[in-house]
Chains A and B, each alone.
Chain A
């Protein structure tokens, strides 16, 4: 483990059992199957993959919100899988979670002040006046107003609720923030606001971010490094720019080709992936991607590729990554944002800084 690693997983596995019963065979879902990765302090680390690939399960395993079937999670040199309940509770102040759905992640029967102040009650010994002041501070930090503390979650819009969720996550002064698709349930314009907010807070508070997502545009914009998951396994891990410029794994290539290009001249030259993602209850033999891979050979059906070093900190799990054709991604490569998008982001930023934001009543 290098000195600047904040959290690390070692061969982390989570299997769910289901369907077992009288005269029926129990099936095992391999939701996360042997994931090893390390997140550096201060970076934004993204985990991408299609739905069902185990990325949300992985996020919950990192915080031990669900118990791993095997493997270790090491946070700042401490093995979370061996931590006792009391020290785990304490450590949870340092690692916080932002949920995907802002409508189900806030207790409808608690006021916003109580929701945001609750982590303080657990992790900081404050008087109730100090706590109120801190809650007001946090609400303002995320672009809400202090007087919102006495309202209930249903009085807010989706974007505002996500801000409340972020304020709650920041209350215990975490060092690591894990977002499970934190913007995918929001409108596109609100997404931009929340993405900006999270980035500003990251810079201000020196956070490390782990973002789970399937939206490649958001990921491109936010992250420093990316892990691509397929069927419970990491198939490629690389710096963001390198991954978008030159994806090595055939699955990553297919993902990149699926990004729509806003250019009528750019006619489709891609070979779209055929078929559905196989069932994680019965994963394919050998390389798990061989059933959909345009380059699959005999070896892929039998021998499982290991995540191997591809130079420059990149890792890829494919037998043939050296020989595969490299599609041209220069069209995607040019800029992460159009000028119009940059202007729009700027506008949103000003808007949220001036304490804008409507209240639904």
Chain B
């Protein structure tokens, strides 16, 4: 998700290594990176890890607290929470990352065009964004997911489209600020095309806040996937996702608090991880920071 400004072949390598060096020396960012990698590795390795079947129910072990047999306890129909957490990592990370990627790849170009060219283009894009923003995020996602049909893929598309207007607005606002800088006028004065001005001058200078917003939206997207799967529109039961586990757990908060605790902690940690990594990336890509 990192966008490195196009700078011509001879300086690209240099700049990349400079950014990478800076990122490596940032301990907090590396910590965030490690957290994210930890969950990604778990999600990928889920099928080969020696753990219980996440969907095997047991009437003799309903809502048991953590024990040697079930490290993180069991849920309301006796499934092992530890293995459901590991299998659920896949759905939740996908829902978080893919839907944000969709939102950014669609929203940022619209925002760039809208802010840079202004006029009628801007009016049309902004009125459409207004229409999308008028609907609450979750309602819009539910409507889109219901329209597309129930599956995890469609849920990710629905969440991505619902999160898109925020990125359009954010990008446009940043573009309006950067557009008035002298260096943009200077780029026109040397005869650069609009495409090159947007790629080299506008995008690199509007990107940092977008990166931060993206890491925050990962959390929203994971939760949104939970809501969709609760309604049967996301991850299809009995396959687990952290969001759907959390959703079920809220009915048993007083009897079995651990059911809510583990998925809650996992979502929190993934979000923190992405956030720290995003902050680190933002600093590493900014030549002014030393």
Interface centre among A90, A105, A165 (most CB of B within 10 A): A105
B188 / chain A contacts, CB cutoff of 8 Å: 65
Interface centre among B11, B14, B182, B188 (most CB of A within 10 A): B182
Of B44-52, B109-117, B138-146, B200-208, the one contacting chain A is B200-208
Is A109 touching B11 in the complex (CB atoms < 8 A)?
Answer: no
Quick one: closest A residue to B192, CB to CB?
A122
Is A89 touching B191 in the complex (CB atoms < 8 A)?
Answer: yes
Is B7 touching A114 in the complex (CB atoms < 8 A)?
Answer: yes
Interface residues as binary, A106-132 with B (CB distance below 8 Å gives 1, 0 otherwise): 111111011000110111000010001
Which A residues between 57 and 108 are near B, CB-CB below 8 angstroms? 60, 63, 65, 88-90, 92-93, 96-97, 99-101, 104-108
Interface residues as binary, A266-296 with B (CB distance below 8 Å gives 1, 0 otherwise): 0000000000000000000000000000000
Whether A208 is near chain B, meaning CB under 8 Å from some CB there, is no
* Number of chain B residues close to chain A: CB under 8 A: 27
**A107's contact among B10, B15, B205, by CB below 8 Å, is which?**
B205
Is B191 touching A122 in the complex (CB atoms < 8 A)?
Answer: yes
Is B191 touching A93 in the complex (CB atoms < 8 A)?
Answer: yes
Known: A114-B11, A128-B8. A104 touches B181 (CB 8 A): yes
Docked pose: A114 CA to B196 CA in angstroms = 13
Quick one: closest B residue to A154, CB to CB?
B288
Interface residues as binary, A170-213 with B (CB distance below 8 Å gives 1, 0 otherwise): 01100000000000000000000000000000000000000000
Is B183 touching A92 in the complex (CB atoms < 8 A)?
Answer: no
Is B183 touching A128 in the complex (CB atoms < 8 A)?
Answer: no
B237 / chain A contacts, CB cutoff of 8 Å: none
Interface residues as binary, A294-305 with B (CB distance below 8 Å gives 1, 0 otherwise): 000000000000
A101 / chain B contacts, CB cutoff of 8 Å: 182
Interface centre among A65, A109, A128 (most CB of B within 10 A): A109
Known: A65-B185, A101-B182, A128-B8. A108 touches B191 (CB 8 A): no
Docked pose: A109 CA to B181 CA in angstroms = 13
Docked pose: A150 CA to B11 CA in angstroms = 8
Whether A152 is near chain B, meaning CB under 8 Å from some CB there, is yes
Is B8 touching A114 in the complex (CB atoms < 8 A)?
Answer: yes
Is B11 touching A113 in the complex (CB atoms < 8 A)?
Answer: yes
Docked pose: A89 CA to B191 CA in angstroms = 4
Whether A168 is near chain B, meaning CB under 8 Å from some CB there, is yes
Whether B5 is near chain A, meaning CB under 8 Å from some CB there, is yes
B7 / chain A contacts, CB cutoff of 8 Å: 110-111, 114
A63 / chain B contacts, CB cutoff of 8 Å: 189
Is A107 touching B201 in the complex (CB atoms < 8 A)?
Answer: yes
* Number of chain A residues close to chain B: CB under 8 A: 37
Interface residues as binary, B1-36 with A (CB distance below 8 Å gives 1, 0 otherwise): 000010111110011000000000000000000000
Is A172 touching B182 in the complex (CB atoms < 8 A)?
Answer: no
Quick one: closest A residue to B183, CB to CB?
A107
B105 vs chain A, min Cβ distance (A)? 21
A108 / chain B contacts, CB cutoff of 8 Å: 205, 287-288
B287 vs chain A, min Cβ distance (A)? 4
Whether B56 is near chain A, meaning CB under 8 Å from some CB there, is no
Is A128 touching B9 in the complex (CB atoms < 8 A)?
Answer: yes
State the majority secondary structure of interface residues on B: helix
Is B182 touching A99 in the complex (CB atoms < 8 A)?
Answer: yes
A104 / chain B contacts, CB cutoff of 8 Å: 181-183
Whether B134 is near chain A, meaning CB under 8 Å from some CB there, is no
B212 vs chain A, min Cβ distance (A)? 17
Whether B186 is near chain A, meaning CB under 8 Å from some CB there, is yes
A105 / chain B contacts, CB cutoff of 8 Å: 181-183, 186
Whether B69 is near chain A, meaning CB under 8 Å from some CB there, is no
Docked pose: A53 CA to B15 CA in angstroms = 43
Whether B131 is near chain A, meaning CB under 8 Å from some CB there, is no
Whether B68 is near chain A, meaning CB under 8 Å from some CB there, is no
Docked pose: A60 CA to B189 CA in angstroms = 9
B287 / chain A contacts, CB cutoff of 8 Å: 108-109, 111, 152, 154
B157 vs chain A, min Cβ distance (A)? 33
Known: A106-B183, A107-B200. A152 touches B288 (CB 8 A): yes
Is B192 touching A128 in the complex (CB atoms < 8 A)?
Answer: no
A109 / chain B contacts, CB cutoff of 8 Å: 5, 204-205, 286-287
A168 / chain B contacts, CB cutoff of 8 Å: 186, 190
B288 / chain A contacts, CB cutoff of 8 Å: 108, 152, 154
A336 vs chain B, min Cβ distance (A)? 30
B129 vs chain A, min Cβ distance (A)? 21
Docked pose: A108 CA to B183 CA in angstroms = 9
Docked pose: A297 CA to B191 CA in angstroms = 49
A107 / chain B contacts, CB cutoff of 8 Å: 183, 187, 200-201, 204-205
Docked pose: A63 CA to B204 CA in angstroms = 26
**B10's contact among A92, A128, A165, by CB below 8 Å, is which?**
A128
Docked pose: A150 CA to B7 CA in angstroms = 12
Is A110 touching B191 in the complex (CB atoms < 8 A)?
Answer: no
Chosen A-B contacts, 13 in total, with CB atoms closer than 8 Å, are: A90-B191, A104-B182, A106-B186, A109-B204, A109-B286, A109-B287, A113-B11, A114-B8, A122-B190, A128-B8, A128-B9, A154-B287, A154-B288
Q: Which residues of B come within 8 Å of A, CB atoms?
A: 5, 7-11, 14-15, 181-183, 185-193, 200-201, 204-205, 286-288
Q: Which residues of A come within 8 Å of B, CB atoms?
A: 60, 63, 65, 88-90, 92-93, 96-97, 99-101, 104-111, 113-114, 118-119, 121-123, 128, 132, 150, 152, 154, 165, 168, 171-172
Considering the complex of A and B, which 3 residue pairs feature the smallest CB-CB distances, nearest first?
A105-B182, A89-B191, A92-B191
